[in-house]
Amino acid sequence: MTDTASTWAPLKRPPFRAVFFGVLCMHTATWVNQVGAATLMSELSPLPLMTALVQTAASLPVVVLGLPAGAIADLVDRRIWMRTIQFGMLAAALVAFIVAMLGGLTPAVLLMLTVLVGIGLALQAPAAQAVYGEVVPREELAEALALGSMSFNLSRIVGPALAGAVLGVAGAMGLYATLALCSALVLVSLTRWRSNAERSHVAPERLWSALRGGMRYVRHSPDCHRPLLHTLVYMGCGSAAWALLPVLARDVYGLGTQGYGLMLGGFGLGGLVGVIVMGRVRQRLALPRIMVASTAIFAVVSAVLALAAPLALTLVALVIGGAAWMIGATLMYTALQDTLPGWVRARGLSIYNLVYFTAMAGGAALWGVLTAPAGTRGALGIAAACMGVAAIGFVRWPLQPSTAVLSRAEASLYGGETPLGGMQPDSDASPLMVQISYRVRPECTDDFLRAAREVGSSCRRNGAVFWRLFREIDEPNLYVERYMLDSWLDHTRHLDRTTATDRDLRERLAQFLVPGFEPAVRHQLVEDLPKG
C-alpha cells in the first residue's frame, strides 16, 4: 500500500461498499451482544467474575464452531451461507427481545442468550471475513483486505460504544432490538452484490477433509505463525481493559450505564482516529515498529486504568488506546490475510478467530479470577505489566509482512496439464504416491537441500499427508522426493492450489541439477491386496 488514496480505492466499487457495510454491521452486532450483555450482567450480579464470564460465553461458540464454519465457508457459496445464518440471527435476536420485554432476564438466562447469539455470529464470521476478495479485481485485493480488517477492528470499537449508548436510552429491549436491526441490514446488503471469485475446477472436499486441510495449511505455513502468535499475546493481555471496564466504571468511578457508555465512546473515538491515521502511519513506519508501538501504548493505557486516574485523563487515555488497538489489531489481521490463498482463506481466518476469541475469552476469565485476590485495579496493573513485556518480546520476534505471491501458477508441477493417463479426475478411492527424482550437482548439495525443505512445506500445506526426501545409496547425487495424498482427486486439488510462489520454489530446485537431466515424475496408487 503506497499511498493513502489507494487505501480507499475499493470503496469506489458499489459491490465492495455493500460487502463492507454488511460485514461491518455483522461484526458490530458481535460486540453489541458481548459488551451489552456484560453491562447488563454488571447490573444483575455484583460479582466481577460473572461480568467477565459474559465475554467467555460470547466467545465460546467461536472456539467450538469456528473451524467447522471456516471449512463450510470454503466449500459452499459464501453469500447464500451468510444469508441463511442471518435469518437465524434475526430470529434469535427477536427471541431475546421478547424475553427482555417479559422481564425474564436473569444471570443464567443472559448467559444462554449470549451463547445463542454468539453461535450465529460464529457460524458466519469466516465467510464474512473472506468475501472481500470476491468483489474486487486482483490488483485491489491488498487494499480490500486492509479495509476488511479495518472493518473488523472498527466494529470492535464502535460496537461497545453503541451498546453503551443503547442501554443508557432503552435498556435490554433496546439492545436486542439493535441486534435485530443489524441482522436486517446485513440481509439487505447481501442483495446488493454478486461474487466474481475465481472458482476451482476440481470437485470440493468433504467437510472433514476440508477441516484437516485448513489446519494442515496453517501448520506448514511459517508466514501464518507469527501473526497468530502476536494476536494471542496482544489480545490475551489487552482483554483485561475490555473485560473489566464495566466494573471499573461502576466501582471506581461510580458511573452508571451512561457513564460506561461515555468511557466506551472514548475507545470508539480513538478507533475512528486510528482508521484515519493508519495510512500515514504505515507510510512512515515499518510493520514491526508499528506493532511494538501499539503494544507499548496500550500497556500505558492499561496502567492508567489501573491507577484510577482522574476521569478526564482516563478518557484521553481511552481515546489513545482505541487508536493504538485499532491499528495494531488491523495490521495483525491483515498480516495473516496476506498469507492465505483463496481456497483456504475462510479456514485460515476461522483459525485466526479461534486464536482471537480464545485469547479474549481466556484472558477475560483470567483477569476476572484475579480480581478476587488483587482487586479490579490490581488485575489491570498485572495486565499492563504483561502488555509491556509483550512489547519487549515483539522487538525480539517482530511481525514481518508476507512476501508470498498467492495467485495461481500459470503452469503446474508438470509445466502444463495434469497427465491423467487412464485415470479419471474424480477417482477418490486409493492413496497416491508422487515420486520425483533429481540428479544434483555435488557442489550444490547444501543449497538443494535448503530449497527442498521449503518445497516440502509447500507440498504439505497444499494437501500432502506425507513428504520426505531420500538419497540413493548407490548414487549419492540422486535424490528422490516422495509425497503422498489421500487420492488422485486430492492430487488434482493439490495441483490446482499451486501458487506462483510454490512454482518458484520448484524452479529454484532446478538451478542445482545436473544439466540435461530433468526431474523425473512418477505416480503410484496404493494397491488393495486380495483377502486371504
Full strand arrangement of the beta sheet holding 432-439: 466-471, 478-485, 432-439, 520-525
For residue 237, give the CATH number of its domain. 1.20.1250.20
pTM exceeds 0.75: yes
Same domain, 368 and 457: no
pLDDT of the residue at 5: 44
pLDDT of the residue at 423: 52
Q: What is the 3-state secondary structure (H, E, C) of 310-349?
A: CHHHHHHHHHHHHHHHHHHHHHHHHHHHCCCCHHHHHHHH
Same domain, 327 and 374: yes
Same domain, 363 and 444: no
pLDDT of the residue at 1: 43
For residue 495, give the CATH number of its domain. 3.30.70.100
Q: Which of 343, 375, 396 is the last residue of a domain?
A: 396
Same domain, 220 and 364: yes
From first to last of its 532 residues, the chain has per-residue pLDDT tens of: 444 446 678 888 899 999 999 988 988 888 888 888 888 888 888 777 787 788 778 777 877 888 898 888 888 888 888 899 999 889 888 988 998 888 888 888 888 888 888 888 888 888 887 887 778 876 676 677 667 767 776 777 778 778 878 888 888 899 999 999 999 999 999 988 876 655 555 667 777 888 888 899 999 988 899 999 999 999 999 999 988 888 888 888 888 766 777 887 788 788 778 878 887 888 899 999 999 999 999 999 999 999 988 889 999 999 999 899 988 988 898 888 888 887 888 888 889 988 987 888 788 888 888 888 888 899 999 999 999 999 999 999 999 887 776 666 555 555 444 444 445 544 566 888 999 999 999 999 999 999 999 999 989 988 899 999 999 998 889 999 999 998 888 888 888 888 888 888 888 988 999 998 888 899 888 887 887 6
Beta bridge partners of 523: 434
Kindly state whether residue 405 falls inside one of the protein's structural domains. no
pLDDT of the residue at 250: 83
Q: Which of 348, 371, 396 is the last residue of a domain?
A: 396
Cα 459 from Cα 450, distance rounded (Å): 15
Phi, then psi, of 524 in degrees rounded to 5: -135, 125
What is the DSSP secondary-structure string of 257-285? HHHHHHHHHHHHHHHHHHHHHHHHHHHHS
Written as nine digits, the cell of 507 is 524452479
Residue in the structure block whose three cell numbers are 495434469: 418
Enclosing domain of residue 487? 432-525
Measured CA to CA in angstroms, residue 32 lies from 41, 81, 125, 182, 245 at distances of 14, 22, 15, 10, 15
Same domain, 36 and 176: yes
Measured CA to CA in angstroms, residue 344 lies from 214, 323, 336 at distances of 6, 31, 12
Kindly state whether residue 420 falls inside one of the protein's structural domains. no
pLDDT of the residue at 375: 87
For the chain, how many structural domains are there in total? Answer: 2
Same domain, 446 and 377: no
Written as nine digits, the cell of 384 is 499492563
Written as nine digits, the cell of 156 is 470492535
Same domain, 390 and 449: no
Q: Which of 396, 416, 450 is the last residue of a domain?
A: 396
Q: Yes or no: say if 16 and 132 are a contact pair by the CB < 8 Å rule.
A: yes
Same domain, 300 and 369: yes
Written as nine digits, the cell of 296 is 507499548
Q: Tens of pLDDT along 332-342?
A: 988 888 888 87
Cα 509 from Cα 452, distance rounded (Å): 7
Q: What is the CA angle 337-338-341, rounded to 5?
A: 80
Residue 416 burial by Cβ neighbours in a 10 Å radius (0-12, 13-18, 19+) = exposed
pLDDT of the residue at 2: 46
Kindly state whether residue 109 falls inside one of the protein's structural domains. yes
Amino acid in position 270: G
Same domain, 236 and 337: yes
Kindly state whether residue 407 falls inside one of the protein's structural domains. no
Residue in the structure block whose three cell numbers are 496476506: 338
Q: What is the 3-state secondary structure (H, E, C) of 355-421?
A: HHHHHHHHHHHHHHHHHHHHHHHHHHHHHHHHHHHHHHHHHHCCCCCCCCCCCECCCCCCCCCCCCC
Q: What is the 3-state secondary structure (H, E, C) of 204-233?
A: CCCHHHHHHHHHHHHHCCHHHHHHHHHHHH
